[in-house]
């Protein structure tokens, strides 16, 4: 399901990127349930207690709310659900990123992937500023889980400004990763691998700058190229 670690980030980020919450003020508490028989904390469960004013109508959503380590659920119903949920297209052309900085980001991400360097088996999502400085990084067996963990860390750290940041993922970019970036208010998404066609469609709809095949020598631009400076 997920790589243990930063589970609070994962839970809060998932609630944010699925549109269940908009900010941390809607969360009363996050607790680890205790097993009634053993009296020990349960290892694979978190309970998120939302504020009384938060209304959740799961029946209106077109997707089942569960996470896996796969690439996620893609389809037209998901695209329509995101539109109906009130997410708006990004305005303006910030942040702007120099081509030379884009070339150094994959190596910068890899250098901070501590678990991947030991195992070779995890994906990563990293949040960078326009100067190419790493602001936060999360690893997970699933790419979209790693993105949720980044979203959760943004939610809890008011020093981070997602609207002026760049998200880099270590593999291909699925529709769901772009969706989560939109929810987390990140207008610039890079992938070491290629994007799916639906990810490109969603990026164009919401004015997300989407790059693929990013390496130290090249990259492709699929949408909103005005944020890339030559």
Place of tokens 């930063």: 6
pLDDT at 166: 98
Model confidence at 76, in pLDDT bands (50, 70, 90)?
low
pLDDT at 208: 98
Model confidence at 69, in pLDDT bands (50, 70, 90)?
very low
Model confidence at 1, in pLDDT bands (50, 70, 90)?
confident
**Interior/surface letters 36-48, b for 16+ CB within 10 angstroms, e for the rest:** eeeeeeeeeeeeb
Alpha carbons 49 and 199: distance in angstroms, whole number = 32
Highest mean pLDDT among 2-6, 110-114, 223-227: 223-227
pLDDT at 117: 78
Q: Which residues pair with 136 in a beta bridge?
A: 127
- 1-230 belongs to which CATH class? alpha beta
Token digits of residue 18 = 């699925």
| % the chain with pLDDT above 90 | 68
Give the mean model confidence (pLDDT) for residues 21-50. 92
88 has pLDDT over 70: yes
150 has pLDDT over 80: yes
| Residue 170 burial (CB count, 10 A) | 20
**Which residues 6+ apart lie within 8 Å of 158 measured at CB?**
none
62 has pLDDT over 60: no
Nearest CA-CA partner of 184 in 5, 2, 24: 24
pLDDT tens by residue, 180-226? 999 999 999 999 999 999 999 999 999 999 999 999 999 999 999 99
CB–CB of 11/173 below 8 Å?
Answer: no
pLDDT at 115: 82
Give the mean model confidence (pLDDT) for residues 131-159. 95
pLDDT at 82: 60
152 has pLDDT over 80: yes
113 has pLDDT over 70: yes
Place of tokens 């693929």: 212
pLDDT at 74: 46
| Catalytic residue ranges | 71
For the chain, the structural domain boundaries read: 1-230
Give the mean model confidence (pLDDT) for residues 47-63. 76
pLDDT tens by residue, 11-29? 999 999 988 899 999 999 9
């Amino acid at each position: 399901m997920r790589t243990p670690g930063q589970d609070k980030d994962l839970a809060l980020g998932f609630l944010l990127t699925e549109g269940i919450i908009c900010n941390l003020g809607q969360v009363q508490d996050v607790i680890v349930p205790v097993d009634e028989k053993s009296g020990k904390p349960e290892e694979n469960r978190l309970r998120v207690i939302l504020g009384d004013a938060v209304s959740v109508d799961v029946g209106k959503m077109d997707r089942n709310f569960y996470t896996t380590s796969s690439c996620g659920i893609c389809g037209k119903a998901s695209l329509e659900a995101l539109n109906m949920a009130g997410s708006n297209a990004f305005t303006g052309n910030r942040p702007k990123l120099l081509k030379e900085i884009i070339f150094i980001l994959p190596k910068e991400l890899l250098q901070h992937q501590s678990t991947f360097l030991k195992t070779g088996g995890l994906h990563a999502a990293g949040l960078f500023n326009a100067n190419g400085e790493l602001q936060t990084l999360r690893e997970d067996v699933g790419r979209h889980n790693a993105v949720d963990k980044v979203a959760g860390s943004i939610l809890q750290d008011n020093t981070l400004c997602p609207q002026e940041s760049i998200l880099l993922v270590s593999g291909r970019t699925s529709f769901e990763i772009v969706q989560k970036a939109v929810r987390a208010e990140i207008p610039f998404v890079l992938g070491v691998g290629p994007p799916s066609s639906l990810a490109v469609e969603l990026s164009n709809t919401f004015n997300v700058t989407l790059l693929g095949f990013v390496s130290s020598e090249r990259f492709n631009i699929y949408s909103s190229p005005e944020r890339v400076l030559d």
